[in-house]
Chains A and B, each alone.
Chain A
Amino acid sequence: MGEDCTEIAVEVRELTRTFGVRKALDRVSFDLPKGAFLSIFGPNGAGKTTLVHVLTTLTAPSSGTATICGLDVVEGAVELRSRIGLISHNPLLYPDLSALENLEFFADMYGVQDAADRVRELLVAVELDHRRLDLVRTFSRGMLQRLSIARALLHHPDVLFLDEPYSGLDPHAMEIFDSLIAQIREDHTFVMISHDLSKGLELCSHALILARGKVVLSEARSEIDEERFVATYRSTVGTGVS
């Protein structure tokens, strides 16, 4: 395997993503130390999703570089994919398979060894072991989200991406979700996209505001003056490309 995630988990340098005259990302640069929790804020069309797509190797950058755990998102793409996990607002699970089958399927895709044990262990951890044989289409939104955490953790990723994980969750499900994240908070680096300022700021150790593809603000949580931060965020809303 490649380099270990020792110091810097995510390193982004002058990352630009253009198509024609549209600049989805415009010279984005930032570093994220290992174990950090980065919240990315910004209005719709600010480039948040594009940034996560580039970091998760789904989209290639037009110029600039990005590395995760020392692996380049272009050259080391295949290896990098086994080091990251994604929890999205979409469950990314097959509704016509049972919880167990879903996890077994993704364990195969990631080449997880001793898959049966690992799957069982995670099902217990997200408290879905009793429903493991039920079809995923019968699950509630909160259960889906828990199962998708299990899916994302199957292959022991170093970096977890959260794409609006709270949308559609009721307060109770949110609580469970938060407690699960808190359990794995120590061992992973997080990158989260969020609309929800208070939620995002509560969890994060670093925050970043994107607007029109550019980094407007990038600070560690400790340096953030909340009032100024909120004002900056507000000023970006409405500048988004519709």
Chain B
Amino acid sequence: MSTAAEKPRSLSWRQFRAILRKDIVMELRTKEMVTSMGIYALLTMVVYQVALSQASEAFDPREIASGLLWLAFIFTSMLGLNRSLVHEKDQGCLEALLLSPVDRPVIFFAKAIGNLVFLGIVEMLTIPIFAFLFLQGSGYAGDWWMIPLVLAAGSLGIAGVGTLLATMSVNTKGKDFVLAVLMVPLMYPLLLAAVSATTTAVLGGADATTPFWQAMALIAGYDGIMLVASYGLYEFVVGA
């Protein structure tokens, strides 16, 4: 009778790929998340323009550029996280997932990686636009790989913790608001370190390497601890 003859590990891998593929196929079809996140990011740029419109000529936009960028990322990411879980919740699909013989961490990793991918796409779209709009004529002092490294490490934290939080907030009244309330304070240390690392990378200078790696170490520490915590708590949260 039974069909679960596959070895547990290969089954988990198959389930992981299935969830990830399903999220990507659905996104390619509807383009809901990437368009809404992208447009939101563009709107943020307009607001930035207004905010910076009274700045003096001497003002160096590079000093606050990374802060503005991460601000855009954190808010657009919330939009995407919320959508990604609303999909599961809509027709009770999450219940169907939980009914299948899947280990809960597999769901966590698949959803988190999916969110990471979408966040990455939005970041790759936002950065050139941001640079085009605000940073023309400004130099970039760091090595080319520095920014992608910070982005990857920072987004990993956002996607991991965000997936846990969105799984909770999607079951509450006022989903988006609750997600923002939970997410921003939890993300504070990550944002602080990520902005610090990005700024050192942008501004460069002779002694920029040490603070850069210091900030990167902090991001890595945050990612490590918070991802393990989210992974551990996910099983309780997703089944509730």
Instruction: Point out residues on A near B: beta carbons under 8 Å.
Output: 1, 4-5, 56-59, 78-79, 81-84, 86, 88, 90-97, 101, 105-106, 108-113, 135, 151, 155-156, 158
Contact = CB atoms under 8 A, between A and B. Distances in A.
19 contacts: A59-B239, A78-B101, A81-B99, A82-B3, A82-B4, A84-B99, A86-B95, A90-B92, A90-B95, A94-B22, A96-B26, A96-B87, A97-B22, A97-B25, A105-B21, A108-B17, A111-B4, A111-B14, A151-B96
Contacts of A101: 22, 25
A109 B100 contact: yes
| Interface of A, helix, strand, loop or mixed by DSSP | loop
Interface residues of B, number: 33
Nearest to A89: B92
Nearest to A4: B1
Contacts of B3: 82, 110-113, 155-156
Given A97-B22, A108-B18, A90 B91 contact: yes
Contact of A111 (B87, B90, B101): B101
Contacts of B5: 1, 111, 113
Given A82-B4, A97-B22, A110-B4, A58 B87 contact: no
Contacts of A110: 3-4, 100-101
Contact of B96 (A5, A92, A155): A92
B6 interface: yes
The 4 closest A-B pairs by CB, nearest first: A108-B18, A90-B92, A92-B96, A109-B100
Contact of A95 (B4, B91, B103): B91
Contacts of B11: 111
Given A96-B26, A97-B26, A106-B100, A1 B2 contact: yes
B2 A82 contact: yes
Contacts of B17: 108
A112 B17 CA distance: 14
A92 B4 CA distance: 21
Query: Which among A90, A101, A108 has the highest number of chain B CB atoms within 10 Å?
Result: A108
